[in-house]
Structure formats: structure tokens, C-alpha cells
Amino acid sequence: AAAPHQHARGRRGPGLLVRRDDLREAVREGREGNLVLFVVDASGSMAARTRMSAIKGAVLSLLLDAYQRRDKVGLITFRGADAELALPPTSSVDAAAVRLERLPTGGRTPLAAGLLKAREVLRVERLRDPARRPLLVVVTDGRATEARRSGGPTPVERAGRAARMLAGDGVASVVVDCESGPVRLGLAGALARELRATPVTLDELRADSVTALVRDVRTVSNPSNPRRAA
């Protein structure tokens, strides 16, 4: 930095005339990691198989990209009476392929359990690596059909409460609306509002488009970081 200015600075002998603003420092630029956590309705319907097929493809595609980005991808499914961490957050494509090979479907729709499980997983991952940025992708028609506890809130109310808790945690979210048929209740849209999430439609639930969507949203979720947009 100093060398081009030696004549102007009046140097006549050996050595360099160095000023404070000539000093340079080597700065190591690290990579931020993302955690993309899918929460998928695996309750009983023919559409469940379509959902699971698309999500499996999206997870594996994201994991191939994760090798260079230090990203992790995880998968929670909810069906019957509870939610299950089907794929703990990982960057291993091989481990994901084994876990995703057979995922059961059927039963009722414990949406609140799926959202609460997601909050628990994100809390643990935040403790492990506070710098890792989470993105939640909820794939559902918004219905909640678990058994209601006597005198307690309805399943929909429990799901709304869990969604507001996640929103309060500041988690960037996407809701993929799987509702189909001539009569639409708009429940997934209501869930997206509770989560402060980006809503998308069932037509976008294909492995390639879900992957692109996740990449777009995780970049937008941190617009102050130009390296993520590159």
C-alpha cells in the first residue's frame, strides 16, 4: 500500500516511508451456517404420499448443497398422537437417505405437537451453535384433528399458540399449503399469519421448487449479508 507513494512522500534513500493508513490486516471470512427444518403433516390421506415424496427430494437436494455451505437439514413429521424427529439436523446425505427411506403416514393431525417439537429442536440447535440461522418449512393443510383434552383449548387453538411462540422466537418460516378440493378453509393461510411466515401453495410442492424456495427465503431472511445473496 505504501510503495506507490514513495516518490510523492519524498523518499530518497533505502526503506519505505509508511503511514498508519498503509497498514493492512488479514481478515478471515467465515461462512454462516443455516438450519432448514421441515415440519411435515404425515397424517392419513393419499396426499400424504405426495407430500413425503416431494419433501424427501427437497431434503436430499439441500443436503448436497450443504456440503459447501456448512448447512444442516432436519425433518419432523406429525401424525397420530404426536410428532417425531424423523431426521435429526445433519449435513450427511447418506444418513438422510437411510432415515428418509421409510416414513410412515396415517392417523390424526397433531399440528401443535409438530410445531412444539420444532421449537424444541431449534432451541437445542441454538445452544449448540448460536450463529446458525434457522429456517422453518411447515408443510400442512392447516387442519388440526388430534383428540381434545377435556376443558382445554381446541387443537386449532393449541396450534395457534405454538405458532405464536415460534414467531416470538424470531424464526423465519415458510408454510406450504397442502389444502385441496373445491372447498378451501384457508387454515394454512391462518397458520402462516400466526407464524409470520411466507405462504406458498400446493402447486409449488415439488422437490426442485421447494429447494429453490427455501434457498430464496433463507437469503431474504438475512438481507444484510451480501455473501448469502451471492
Task: Give the neighbor-by-neighbor strand order of the sheet with 72-79.
Answer: 82-90, 72-79, 34-41, 133-140, 172-177, 198-200
14: in domain: no
Max CA pair span of the chain: 92
> What are the angstrom distances between the C-alpha of 224 and each of 21, 27, 36, 77?
27, 19, 19, 32
Residue 201 carries which DSSP code?
-
Higher local confidence (pLDDT), 138 or 182: 138
CB 228 within 8 A of CB 218: yes
Strand pairing class (133-140; 34-41): parallel
Q: Which of 4-8, 46-50, 184-188 shows the lowest mean pLDDT across its residues?
A: 46-50
65-92 average pLDDT score:
84
- One-letter amino acid of 215: R
Closest CA to 53 of 113, 139, 122: 139
Residue 1, in any domain of the structure: no
Structural domain boundaries enclosing 129: 34-222
Q: Is residue 168 part of a domain?
A: yes
Is 197 part of a structural domain of the chain? yes
Domain with residue 146: its CATH number is: 3.40.50.410
Q: Decide the pairing of beta strands 34-41 and 72-79.
A: parallel
Q: Which of 210, 175, 202, 203 is nearest to 189 (CA)?
A: 175
The C-alpha cell at 144 is 388440526
- pLDDT digit string, tens, across residues 59-74: 777 777 766 677 888 8
